[in-house]
Amino acid sequence: MAEQQIDRNAVVALLNEILETELAGVVRYTHYSLMVFGYGRIPIVSWLRGEATTCLSHANDAGEMVTHLGEHPSLKIGALLETQKHGIDDILIESLEAEKPDWRYTRSCSIWCATVRCSSKSTRAK
Protein backbone atom coordinates (compact mmCIF):
# COMPACT_ATOMS: atom_id res chain seq x y z
CA MET A 1 0.00 0.00 0.00
CA ALA A 2 1.39 3.41 -0.95
CA GLU A 3 2.24 5.57 2.02
CA GLN A 4 -0.21 8.45 2.39
CA GLN A 5 0.96 11.95 3.21
CA ILE A 6 -0.85 13.61 6.07
CA ASP A 7 -1.15 17.29 6.86
CA ARG A 8 0.50 17.20 10.28
CA ASN A 9 -0.78 20.66 11.31
CA ALA A 10 -4.35 19.76 10.37
CA VAL A 11 -4.12 16.49 12.30
CA VAL A 12 -2.75 18.22 15.41
CA ALA A 13 -5.42 20.92 15.16
CA LEU A 14 -8.15 18.27 14.92
CA LEU A 15 -6.69 16.27 17.80
CA ASN A 16 -6.49 19.40 19.95
CA GLU A 17 -10.09 20.23 19.10
CA ILE A 18 -11.07 16.71 20.15
CA LEU A 19 -9.08 17.11 23.36
CA GLU A 20 -10.86 20.38 24.15
CA THR A 21 -14.28 18.92 23.35
CA GLU A 22 -13.71 15.85 25.50
CA LEU A 23 -12.48 17.94 28.43
CA ALA A 24 -15.69 19.97 28.16
CA GLY A 25 -17.54 16.64 28.31
CA VAL A 26 -15.81 15.80 31.60
CA VAL A 27 -17.03 19.08 33.10
CA ARG A 28 -20.50 18.78 31.57
CA TYR A 29 -21.20 15.21 32.71
CA THR A 30 -19.75 15.85 36.16
CA HIS A 31 -21.99 18.91 36.46
CA TYR A 32 -25.02 16.92 35.35
CA SER A 33 -24.26 14.18 37.87
CA LEU A 34 -24.29 16.79 40.63
CA MET A 35 -27.63 18.21 39.50
CA VAL A 36 -29.65 14.98 39.55
CA PHE A 37 -31.81 14.50 42.60
CA GLY A 38 -34.77 12.46 43.74
CA TYR A 39 -35.85 8.85 43.67
CA GLY A 40 -33.80 6.67 41.31
CA ARG A 41 -30.89 9.13 41.38
CA ILE A 42 -28.08 6.63 42.00
CA PRO A 43 -28.07 4.76 38.65
CA ILE A 44 -28.43 8.00 36.69
CA VAL A 45 -25.58 9.66 38.59
CA SER A 46 -23.48 6.54 38.07
CA TRP A 47 -24.13 6.61 34.31
CA LEU A 48 -23.30 10.33 34.07
CA ARG A 49 -20.07 9.87 36.02
CA GLY A 50 -19.20 6.98 33.73
CA GLU A 51 -19.69 9.29 30.75
CA ALA A 52 -17.36 11.84 32.39
CA THR A 53 -14.76 9.10 32.83
CA THR A 54 -15.15 8.08 29.18
CA CYS A 55 -14.65 11.69 28.07
CA LEU A 56 -11.49 11.92 30.19
CA SER A 57 -10.17 8.75 28.59
CA HIS A 58 -10.85 10.16 25.11
CA ALA A 59 -9.15 13.44 26.07
CA ASN A 60 -6.11 11.50 27.26
CA ASP A 61 -6.01 9.50 24.02
CA ALA A 62 -6.19 12.65 21.87
CA GLY A 63 -3.54 14.38 23.99
CA GLU A 64 -1.25 11.36 23.74
CA MET A 65 -1.59 11.41 19.96
CA VAL A 66 -0.64 15.09 19.88
CA THR A 67 2.40 14.35 22.05
CA HIS A 68 3.25 11.37 19.84
CA LEU A 69 3.45 13.80 16.93
CA GLY A 70 5.91 15.94 18.93
CA GLU A 71 3.44 18.75 19.47
CA HIS A 72 1.89 20.45 22.50
CA PRO A 73 -1.59 19.40 23.67
CA SER A 74 -4.07 22.24 24.07
CA LEU A 75 -4.85 23.61 27.51
CA LYS A 76 -8.20 25.02 26.36
CA ILE A 77 -11.61 23.55 27.06
CA GLY A 78 -14.47 23.30 24.59
CA ALA A 79 -17.76 25.16 24.75
CA LEU A 80 -20.09 24.43 27.63
CA LEU A 81 -23.85 24.76 27.22
CA GLU A 82 -25.84 25.74 30.30
CA THR A 83 -29.59 25.99 29.87
CA GLN A 84 -30.36 26.22 33.61
CA LYS A 85 -32.71 23.26 33.12
CA HIS A 86 -31.83 20.31 35.29
CA GLY A 87 -34.61 17.77 34.83
CA ILE A 88 -33.52 14.36 33.59
CA ASP A 89 -35.15 14.92 30.19
CA ASP A 90 -33.41 18.29 29.85
CA ILE A 91 -30.04 16.82 30.82
CA LEU A 92 -30.40 14.05 28.24
CA ILE A 93 -31.39 16.51 25.51
CA GLU A 94 -28.45 18.77 26.39
CA SER A 95 -26.15 15.74 26.36
CA LEU A 96 -27.36 14.73 22.92
CA GLU A 97 -26.86 18.25 21.57
CA ALA A 98 -23.36 18.40 23.07
CA GLU A 99 -22.40 15.03 21.55
CA LYS A 100 -23.40 15.93 17.98
CA PRO A 101 -20.12 17.71 17.10
CA ASP A 102 -18.19 14.63 18.32
CA TRP A 103 -19.74 12.45 15.61
CA ARG A 104 -17.75 14.18 12.88
CA TYR A 105 -14.50 13.41 14.73
CA THR A 106 -15.09 9.69 14.68
CA ARG A 107 -14.59 9.32 10.93
CA SER A 108 -11.68 11.77 10.73
CA CYS A 109 -9.83 10.05 13.54
CA SER A 110 -10.51 6.58 12.20
CA ILE A 111 -8.97 7.53 8.87
CA TRP A 112 -5.96 9.19 10.51
CA CYS A 113 -5.38 6.32 12.96
CA ALA A 114 -5.52 3.80 10.13
CA THR A 115 -2.96 5.89 8.21
CA VAL A 116 -0.63 6.08 11.20
CA ARG A 117 -0.92 2.35 11.89
CA CYS A 118 -0.19 1.52 8.25
CA SER A 119 2.83 3.82 8.11
CA SER A 120 4.09 2.46 11.47
CA LYS A 121 3.85 -1.10 10.17
CA SER A 122 5.70 -0.24 6.97
CA THR A 123 8.43 1.52 8.98
CA ARG A 124 8.85 -1.50 11.28
CA ALA A 125 8.99 -3.88 8.33
CA LYS A 126 11.96 -2.07 6.76
Q: Which domain holds residue 109?
A: 8-125
For residue 24, what are the CA distances in angstroms to 30, 54, 87, 120, 125?
10, 12, 20, 31, 40
- Tell me whether residue 59 is in a domain: yes
End-to-end Cα separation, the chain, in angstroms: 14
Within a domain: residue 3?
no
Q: Say if 80 falls within a structural domain.
A: yes
In a domain, 2, yes or no: no
Number of domains composing the chain: 1
Whether 98 is covered by a domain: the verdict is yes
The pTM of the full predicted model, rounded to 2 decimals, is: 0.76
The CA-based angle 104-110-48, given to 5 degrees, is 60
* CATH number, domain with residue 74: 1.20.1260.10
Give pLDDT tens digits for 43-91.
999 999 999 999 999 999 999 999 999 999 999 999 887 778 878 888 8
